[in-house]
Amino acid sequence: MHQVIGRQTNSKRPESAHSSENGTPSPDHSRLSALPPLADSDAAAPSSPAEKEETPTSVTEGGGASEAYWRLFPLALTLGAGQQITITFFQTSVGYFQGLLKSNKVLLFFVLTNFLPAPLMISLQIKYDSVFDQLYGTDSTYLFRTSFVTIVAGVVCFCAGFADTWAGVLTVGILLGCLTSALLSSSQQLLATGDSKLPAVVKLGTGVAAGTTVLVTKLSGFKPDASRTEILIFLAVPLIVTTFCVVIYGVFHCTHQLRAIYDLILEGSDESPRSGRGEYTRQMDSGTLSGSGLGSPTPAQHLLQPSLGPRYESRFHLLPPSLDREATITLWLLGICLLVNRLCLMSLMPFLAFFGGPIASQDLLLSKLVGDFLGNLMSILINPRQVAKWLHRAMPPVMVTALLAMEMTIFAWMVLDPISACTKEDVLDPRLVALVIIYYLIGGFTENAASVFAGAAVPSPRRPDAIRFVAIGIYTGLSIGLVGATIAIYAHPKFLRQA
C-alpha cells in the first residue's frame, strides 16, 4: 500500500515495480533516487500522474552528491546549529558562574547536567518514537521533536541568566541536556533517511554553532566578571538563533519538501505501516463507527486497543532483527569506537576548568569549541562510496587510539606542570591550547566519520535505527567519561582545594 504522509491516498503500487520474480516484495526505489531512470534501467516509473505528484521529494541511498542532499543541506546545517548553540553559549558562560558561585567545579556540573540525560532520552526514543510516528504521523511528530524542542531550548538557555544559585543553574543544565540530546538525535534520524551524509552536515551545524560562540564571545568582549545585564544580552543570542532555525524548518515542512522522508521513516519502522491517515486506519475507523456508534477512537484508544497489541512490540531492540550479519557487525564495531571516542572527549573536558583561573578556563573552553568546529568541518568531506569498505571498520579504531595517546599527554601535562595546573593564574601555554584544539578536532572528525559510515551500512529506511544505535554508544561513553572525571576530581586533594 502506498501511503504518503500528509495526504490521503488509496493508490496501489504497481506489482511489477515492487515484486521480484519469486514474488518477494522489494523496496520502493521510486523515491530513492534524485535522478530520472535511464532508458535501459529496469526501475519502474510511477504508474500514474497522481503517484508522481505525491512523491515530490527524492531520497537517495547516500554516498553521492544527490539532489536531495543539496536541497536538504541548509536544513541539516540549521538544525545542527540550533541544537548546539544553546549548549555552547551556556558552557562558555562558565567563568561567569564560577565567579558567581565561587567554585571551580561549575564546568564539571555543567557537563554532567548537559550530557548525562542523553542516554535516557535516546533509549526512550528507541522504544517509543515509532509508536508515536504511527499514531500521529511522522510529519507531526518530527515537527514537534525539532521546532518545538528547539525554541524551548533557546528560552531555557536565556533563563540561565536569571539563575544565581546552584539549584537554578543545575535545573537549567538538566533541561538543556534533555532537550538538546533529543533534538540532535531526532535531527540526524530525520535527515539520514534522505542521504547518509546529511548527519555529518548536522554535526557541521554544531561546529558552526561552536565557531559562532567563539566569534561572539571575542567580539562582544564577554568576560567572567560580566554584569547581570551583560550575561542576559550574551544568552539572548542563542534565543534569536533558535527562533531563526524554527522558521527555516517551518519553511521546509510547509512546502512539503520532507514528505517522502517522513514516509520512508514510517516504512522503516518494525511495526506494520500505518500513518494515522492511511487506508488501514480509515477502514478500521469505519468498522468502529458502525459497530459502536461512539465515533472514531482517539490515538490513545488505538494504542490501548487489545487487537493492536502486536503492532506495538514491547521488546527493546538496540538494532532491528532484520539487519544482515555484515551490517550488524559494522554497527557494533562503530558503536564501540564511538563509545571510547566520546569517553575520552568527556573525561578530559571537566579538567579544563582547573588550568588556571576563570579567564584561562574560558579560553581553554573556546579552544575546545575551535577544535569541534574544525573537526566537524573536515568530516563534511567524507564520501562513504569513495572510501574502501574495509576502511569503514579500520579508520575509527586508529583514530580512537590516537585520541587515547593525546589524552594521556594532556593529563601528564596537568600533573607535571606546576605553573598552569590547578592555579589561579590566567596565563596559558600556547602549546597546551594547540593540543586541546587538535584533540577535539580528532575526536569530532572520528565521531562524524563513524556516523556517516553507520548510515551507509544500512538501507535508507533503516538509517534512523542505525543513528539511534550509534548514539547509544556515544552517550554511554559520555556518561562513563563524566562519571570517571567526577570520581577523579573528588578523589584528588589538589582539585578539592580549588573547589
Can you tell me whether residue 355 is helix, strand or coil? strand
Tell me what pLDDT residue 122 has.
Answer: 80
| Whether the Cβ atoms of residue 467 and residue 319 lie closer than 8 Å to each other | no
Q: Is the dihedral of CA 99, 100, 103, 106 positive or negative?
A: negative
Query: Which of 180, 176, 206, 174 lies closest to 77, judged by CA?
Result: 206
Among residues 71, 58, 133, 26, the alpha carbon closest in space to that of 468 is found at 133
* pLDDT at residue 131, rounded to an integer: 83
d(CA 299, CA 289): 15
Largest separation between any pair of C-alpha atoms in the chain: 81
Look-up of cell digits 478500521: 284
pLDDT attached to residue 10? 38
Q: CB-based burial of residue 295 (10 Å sphere; 0-12 exposed, 13-18 middle, 19+ buried)?
A: exposed
CA pair distance 25, 32, nearest whole angstrom: 16
Which H/E stretch holds residue 215? helix 198-220
3-state secondary structure 270-317: CCCCCCCCCHHHHHHHHHHHHHHCCCCCCHHHHHHCHHHHHHCCCCCC
CB 169 within 8 A of CB 163: yes
* Percent of the chain as helix, strand, coil, to the nearest 5: 70, 0, 25
Return the pLDDT at 392.
67
Q: How many residues does the structure list for the chain?
A: 499
If we measure between CA atoms, which residue out of 121, 57, 109 comes closest to residue 83?
121
Domains with residue ranges and CATH for the chain:
67-260+317-496 (1.20.1250.20)
pLDDT of res. 386: 65
Structure pTM?
0.65
Quick: pLDDT tens for 104-144: 788 888 888 988 888 888 888 878 887 888 888 888 888 88
Return the pLDDT at 160: 94
Residues of the chain with pLDDT under 70: 1-66, 266-322, 356-357, 385-390, 392-393, 414-427, 492-499
- Grid cell, residue 180, equals 538538546
